[in-house]
Amino acid sequence: MAQETSRDRERRGLAGAFALCSVATLTLLASHPASSARTLAEVLREEAHSVWINGIVHGGFIITLAGLMVCFILLSRRLGSRRVSVVIALTAFCIGSGLLIASMILDGLVTPALAVRFADSGNADNLPMARTLFILCGIVISFLMPIGMLFQSTAILGWSAAIVQGPGMRRGVGAFGLAAGIILIIGLLAVPAALKPHVLLAGIALQAIWYLALAALLGSGASWPVPEC
């Protein structure tokens, strides 16, 4: 009886953690600074002015991704950590999260730090160097973000393939995850480069909704496999 109580407590705690990560992701996404700069000088001023909010938002994303990795390790135990689809999902999510964390560090910490350094410099000769560094950071981010999202979308497919095999609410949440994963992968691979930032933002929001669906599923007490030791 004590063992059942412990499992129920772990399940409710995991549901709360997924819900918290979902809310944090949506809140951080809504708080992300929007850019209207057109010239390099405007970019430098804008990035330097928003250095704190950039650090808070992107640092929050990094912490949230770390929390999600812990959540999905626990979820994988409940789904059966020896299943091939679950192993692939967990591996893909950790790789994707690592790539996204690297992107967050560049976008939210490195780029604003460069802007502060060059904005404080009155030497116009430094502008070509600033332009080169900003272009380099932008190119690296343009690879890290989509690839990271592709890995995470693959992870959603793997976990959803295991979840959808269950009865009732599990089937609905699993079907939603399968649809979300397929939509994200097609969107990231098929849309033009100019629209890719919008797909990435929509993808993060869609992932957050799936986390919330997982929280509801775990909180409902639906049938789950016994966690592996």
Confirm whether pTM is higher than 0.75. Answer: yes
- 140 assigned to some structural domain: yes
- 157 assigned to some structural domain: yes
Residue numbers of the domain that contains 74:
43-219
% the chain with pLDDT above 90 = 56
Number of structural domains (the chain) is 1
* Amino acid at site 65: L
- 18 assigned to some structural domain: no
Q: Pull the structure tokens for residue 55.
A: 């650090």
- 171 assigned to some structural domain: yes
- The string of pLDDT tens digits covering residues 46-72 is 777 788 898 999 999 999 999 999 999
By CB atoms closer than 10 A (0-12, 13-18, 19+), residue 36 is exposed
Q: What is the pLDDT of residue 124?
A: 57
- The string of pLDDT tens digits covering residues 161-217 is 999 987 788 899 999 999 999 999 999 999 888 888 889 999 999 999 999 999 999
* Amino acid at site 160: S
